[in-house]
Amino acid sequence: MTAPGNVAGVQKLTGLFRKQIFIPIAALLVLIIFNLIADPSFFEITYAQNSAGEPVLSGYLITILDNASELAILAIGMTLVTAASGGQDISVGAAIAISGSVVLRVLCGDNPRPEEMQASILTAFLISCLVSMLFGAFNGTLVAYFNIQPMIATLILYTAGRSIAAWINNNRLPIISDPAFGYFGTFMPGIPVPTPIFIAIICMIITALVLKFTTLGLYTQAVGINPNSAKLNGINPSLIKFITYVIMGLCVAVAGFIKVTRFSTINYSVVALDIEMDAILAVALGGNALSGGKFSMASSILGAYVIQFLTTTLFKFNVSSSALPAYKAVVVIVLVVLSAPTVREKAGKVWRSIRSAKAGKEAA
Amino acid sequence: MGKVLNRKGRLVPMSDTNLLLTITIVVFFAMYLAAMLFIGRGFLKIQTLFNILNENAALIILSCGMSIVMITGGIDISVGKLTALICMSAAVNLDYHNGSVLTAILLSLAIGIAFGVVQGYLVAYLNIQPFIVTLAGMFFAKGMTTIVNSTQFNVQNEAFLALKNTRVYIPFLGSVNKLGKFVPAYVEIGVIVAIVTVILLFILLRWTRLGRSFYAVGGNSQSANMLGINVRRTRFAAHLLCGLLAGIGGFVYFLHVGSGAPSHATGAEMNAIASSIIGGTMLTGGVGNIVGTFFGVLSLSTIKNIVTLLGLDDAWWTNITVAVMICIFLVVQSIVLLRKRSRS
């Protein structure tokens, strides 16, 4: 017989197992333990000189937090879109190209190599937000009011997005030489932590506040679980779906701004390539059903960091960037299979039978 | 509109599948006719049509597999990168491992079937979302292609080149060239394979038990289950078939380009999805037709040809036009279906 305290502990543990956030946490723990065993220097953080000659923090952990910023921001929008419409937005990569292109177009005007910027960075950012939200509204209209499946509706922008981005700048690749523009994608002078980390944290705080103090989260889940009963309860399902796509557009604008400030230029065909797949993966790794309904924002964001952790780990072990997807696929499949309900049920049965056998032995 | 005569001679509403199919075929012929009338030039030659077929034989086969998976309510986004992997593997087999054409074909089919089995098992028996499974499949194929060989190279194997350059001439069709000589129209071997595939799959979907159960599972898996259809096995079969077709399509693509490269068939999965949609297959499952998919591929590449012939050479115009076309199709489809629903 087990002690009562022990039983409560076991129940708490199984409760944690059932929590959604358990999946990304477990994946993160596995990766951390793997790195600790393979090479503990992975977790070292040192001071190094950046290109401007200032001391900045450097190390794999900083790289992960820095590079995952765009993905984490996109995961916020993708979670809402997935929850409300039961489908995914596959146009985010192309939309990032558009928003980045708009920022450069506003700042450069007609001259691709301007000596000084034509407008303030804030203006450019706000205009790119507006454009991205318009494209989000386009996707949202197709999904919410024309009842087209999200993946198919966003396929349109996926096909045309990079071409539109190239068209905005007349197919030229503008470069901004003003160092102030690069502050947002690299380091602010005097601050040793990369700026994208702060931007991502600000986005998360805003999201947390919005979810806490507005009914957006509740309505989104209601629409995702059953649009008809949501309608009977006085919620407008089409409007909620539409709003989530506009929010996705806003997230895209922020992510695009970070992307374009990292290098102060843009390459339409490569920028944020396949990032939509990673963003959807982040949502799935967070244990959210891709068919919509209930969601956990924290799990999705954590999922984004898990993906970046995995990528950086693989890079550290000298996996070439073109072969990287193969290893990523294996890890993803293992994680997804382990977290599949059927597998967990079977594992649970095996676990219970072992425990009951043990208990039987003890009783005897 | 949207009504047909049934066997008893009464007007009944068309099924969704047939309605969407009709729209697709009408649009394709209208578009091609308009191109012949207003652009003329290349479109007046019969060979242009056959060239469209030559270039898209592989895409037709891939799209057929995609349609079947979509009819059962799933999706497979791995087929494009899988094609690249098959091209590379077959090329390496032919040139570096002294393979013959037969071993290359067997290898292609084996890779396709292997992907189909694994993805099908994960989707059908472990209940993992098809998007995630095939996304991982896509990543895996993408990475494996560069692991097999990271650079592009042209195949030198003679038996293969002979097969690649085989032309099947169409009797009585052709055009007279500038010198007044009659040039017969031709197609490549891949087109024959593609057309045979379309016919076989049409028969499969229309008149066999398996084909009907694809529609039943896609339409409503719970009622399919109550009708005694093995839902899991049907889903597995759809992914297996899609994998097999990706194997065939991959080899046909290889036969057309004759080289292995990691960049081959980029975006083919999205083209296949787009073709299926233009052909009237719906991602929600239960609605679709292989003949529609066939015309979907043709429509997609006809519009690309029209854009090029109009002199809008800048690469972005093609993509934007294709996107506009998909958009129009989707909106028309959704309006037609919505009106039909509201009337009934």
Chain B environment of A142 (Cβ under 8 Å): 327, 330-331
Mark yes or no for CB contact B335/A146 under 8 Å. Answer: yes
In Å, what is the CA distance from A255 to each residue of A97, A129, A295, B274? 10, 10, 22, 27
- Give the phi and the psi of residue A256 in degrees, each rounded to 5: -65, -40
Q: Which residues of A touch B316 (CB under 8 A)?
A: 162-164, 166-167, 171
DSSP secondary structure string for all residues of B24-41: HHHHHHHHHHHHHHHT-G
Phi and psi for B260 in degrees, rounded to 5?
-115, 135
**Considering CB atoms only, which of B143, B144, B274 is closest to A155?**
B274
User: Is B257 domain-assigned?
Assistant: yes
Q: What pLDDT does B102 receive? A: 93
Q: What is the largest CA-CA distance in chain A?
A: 86
Read off the pLDDT of residues B236-266 as tens digits, 9 standing for 90 and up.
999 999 999 999 999 999 999 989 998 888 8
How close, in Å, is residue A291 to chain B by CA atoms?
A: 8
| Segment 68-87 of chain A within 8 Å of chain B by CB | none
Task: Note whether A151 contacts B75, CB cutoff 8 Å.
Answer: yes
Domain contains B77: yes
Q: Is B75 within a domain?
A: yes
Find out whether A134 and B301 touch, Cβ atoms under 8 Å. Answer: no
- Which residues span the domain enclosing B131? 54-265+282-288
Q: What is the mean pLDDT of chain B?
A: 87
pLDDT value of position A303: 93
Chain B nearest CA to A297, separation (Å): 19
The pLDDT value given to residue A24: 86
In chain B, which residues have their Cβ closer than 8 Å to the Cβ of A327? Answer: 143
Per the structure, the count of domains in chain B is 1
Is the Cβ–Cβ distance between A254 and A73 less than 8 Å?
A: yes
Distance in angstroms (rounded) separating the CA atoms of residues B75 and B137: 12
Residue B339 lies in a domain: no
Residue B90 domain-assigned (yes or no): yes
Residue A1's pLDDT is: 42
B212 within domain boundaries: yes
Cβ B330–A146 below 8 Å, yes or no? Answer: yes
Residues 131-170 of A with CB under 8 A from B: 142, 146-149, 151-153, 155-160, 162-164, 166-167
pLDDT along chain A (364 residues), means of 10: 53 63 85 89 83 80 93 96 91 95 90 82 95 97 89 86 90 86 86 92 96 93 92 94 96 96 88 86 85 90 93 86 83 76 79 82 71
> Which residues, 6+ apart, have CB-to-CB distance to A77 below 8 Å?
A89, A92, A244, A247, A248, A249, A250, A251, A252
Q: Which of A148, A155, A343 sits opposite B273 (nearest CB)?
A: A155
Whether residue B147 is contained in a domain is answered as: yes
Chain B residue numbers touching A337 (CB-CB < 8 A): 122, 126, 128
Q: What is the mean pLDDT of chain A?
A: 87
CA distance B286 to chain A (A): 14
Listed in sequence order, the residues at least 6 apart from B190 whose beta carbon sits closer than 8 Å to its beta carbon are B54, B57, B58, B252, B253, B255, B256
pLDDT computed for residue A2 by the predictor: 45
Inspect the interface and report whether the beta carbons of B270 and A155 lie closer than 8 Å: yes
Mean pLDDT of B287-295: 91
Query: Over pLDDT 70: what percentage of chain B?
Result: 93
Q: Where are the beta strands (DSSP E) in A168-267?
A: none
How far is A293 from A315, CA to CA, in rounded Å? 35
Q: In this model, does residue B144 exceed pLDDT 80?
A: yes
Q: Give the separation between CA A309 and CA A319, rounded to whole angstroms.
A: 14
- Closest residue to A322, CB basis, from B127, B132, B146: B146
Q: Which of residues 175-234 of A touch B (CB under 8 A)?
A: none
Q: Do A284 and B139 touch (CB under 8 A)?
A: no
DSSP reduced 3-state for B188: strand
What pLDDT is recorded for position A236?
94
Distance CA B107, CA B101 (A): 10
Residue among A159, A289, A333 minimizing CB distance to B319: A159
A318 — alpha (psi -120 to 50), left (phi > 0) or beta?
Answer: left
Interface of A with B in 317-346 (CB under 8 A): 320, 322-330, 332-333, 336-337, 340-343
* Contacting residues of B for A159, CB less than 8 Å apart: 270, 274, 319, 322-323, 326
Picking from B122, B129, B140, the nearest residue to A337 by CB comes out as: B122
Interface contact flag, A327 B143, Cβ < 8 Å: yes
CB contact under 8 A, B334 and A148: yes
Mention every residue, 6+ apart, whose C-beta is less than 8 A from residue A310: A31, A328, A331
Task: Report CB contact under 8 Å: A160, B274.
Answer: no
Contact A142 B129 (CB under 8 A): no
DSSP string, B299-337: HHHHHHHHHHHTT--SHHHHHHHHHHHHHHHHHHHHHHH
In the prediction, which pLDDT does A7 show? Answer: 58
User: By mean pLDDT, which of A17-21, B31-35, B271-275 is the weakest?
Assistant: A17-21
How much is the pLDDT for B60?
96
Tell which of B77, B118, B127, B132 to mutate to test the A interface (max A CBs under 10 Å). B132
Q: What's the one-letter identity of residue A31?
A: L
**Assigned domain for B92 exists:** yes
A-B C-beta contacts closer than 8 Å: 133
- pLDDT of B27 > 70? The answer is yes
pLDDT at residue A330, rounded to an integer? 85
Q: Which residues contact A355 (CB under 8 A, 6 or more apart)?
A: none
Q: Compute the average pLDDT of residues B14-24.
A: 79
Q: 3-state class of B3 per DSSP?
A: strand
Residue B183 backbone dihedrals phi, psi, to 5 degrees = -110, 115
